[in-house]
Structure 1
Amino acid sequence: MIRIAVVVGSTRPTRRSRQVADWVLARAQERGGAEFGMLDIAEFDLPLLDEPLPPSMGQYTHEHTKAWARAVAPFDGFIFVTGEYNHAVPGALKNALDFLYAEWNNKACGFVSYGSSGGVRAVENLRLIAGELQMADVRAQVALPFATDFRDYTAFTPSQTAEGQLGPLFDQVTAWARALQPTRE
């Protein structure tokens, strides 16, 4: 069975990403077609990248890096839930991605973003990062503007449009994760 992780991409105390990630995970589990889990980077307490060697060498020295690697490695694909911070990906998510290399390789990824413009600029930033980490990013994405998908800009209340965009995202991430499976074996 293909395993897909919903990655909570912010550690900010007032983050919206956990609300959104919980919604994504619940809808994914209802839909089926893969085994879905969650990775919340806030639970790993990663410092600013502190490994002495580049992650591409795979020689992790710190226990927090090894724990993060053990959590990421079993998944075949990822759905990154990200806010848009200053027209880019949140620093905590970028840092979490930078800690590892082989654990991301030849895996599929998709994006659910939020922000004043739906977080689309953060996703464009993530697509560049995914390419360098040898992840295959899918076309379908869900963009959640604060004005339409968050009551009073705080409480997540997904629109029907957002609900409808999840299906193609799940389908594409699952299909690409399955298609890339031979490259990971």
Structure 2
Amino acid sequence: MSSKPRIAVILGSTRDSRFGDAPTEWIFNRAKARDDWDVELVDLKAFNLPLFNEVASNAWAPSEDSAAREWQATIARFDGFIFVTPEYNRSITGALKNALDQAYVEWNRKAFGIVSYGSVGGTRAAEHLRSIGIELQMVSTRSAVHIGGSDFFSVHPLGGDPKPIESLEASIGGSADSMLEELDWWTRATLAARG
């Protein structure tokens, strides 16, 4: 077991034209700047997961698909997670939901934080993700980063001439700091409890 908590920053969009790279890189660098965590970027696009087609969750039966087993082994390495997700039709992406469904025991009793984005800050996606996390026996931070409204359109190509995401520091930096501190506390608490 590593002496430092292992945190995965999971990029939850797989579209070729995704905006998610910008907020993912921003929160990844912020998390990596901590000297008390080992942080790794996990891009769903790199995993070629099929749609969930197992006989049951791996809580009840081992997964047969090798890509699902590889994904489960990846998730099992981490003690906590930061999910970066857009809001699609009031929810998370289908790719992220599928990735969550492809594992169960590997998510259990671990903490997560959220960076969400969209016209209303991805708030509905974040709330849906929290509900899914409860079913997976996870612990969500109270604080999250929501990039929405004029902030979102100032950094997204749809707004015309996008600024770098770092230009939003005054708007979202404090939320990021709070989320990371809460994630640290809950990750260490669940790590200790798991023994």
Partner secondary structure for residue 187 of structure 2: helix
Aligned to 1:174: 184
Q: Deviations over 1:67-114 (max 9, x none)?
A: 101111010110100000001111110010001000000000110000
- TM-superposed CA distance for 1:152, in Å, is 6.1
Give aligned-pair identity as a percent. 39
CA contact (8 A) 1:83 1:122 kept: yes
**How many Å separate the matches in 2 of 1:147 and 1:13?**
24
Aligned to 1:165: 175
Matches within 5 A, 1:85-100: 85-100=88-103
CA contact (8 A) 1:82 1:112 kept: yes
Aligned to 1:83: 86
- Runs of 4+ aligned structure 1 residues displaced above 3 Å come to 149-152
Let me know the Cα RMSD of the aligned residues. Answer: 1.5
Aligned to 1:132: 135
Partner secondary structure for residue 57 of structure 1: coil
- TM-superposed CA distance for 1:58, in Å, is 4.8
Q: TM-score, normalised by structure 2?
A: 0.89
Aligned to 2:116: 113
Q: Deviations over 1:26-66 (max 9, x none)?
A: 11111332111111111101111122232212501111011
Q: Which runs of 5+ in 2 are unaligned?
A: none
Quickly say closer, same or farther: Cα 1:58–1:23, change in 2 above 3 A: farther
Structure whose CA Rg is larger: 2
State the number of aligned residues.
185
Structure with higher strand content: 1
Q: TM-score, normalised by structure 1?
A: 0.94
**How many Å separate the matches in 2 of 1:54 and 1:97?**
11
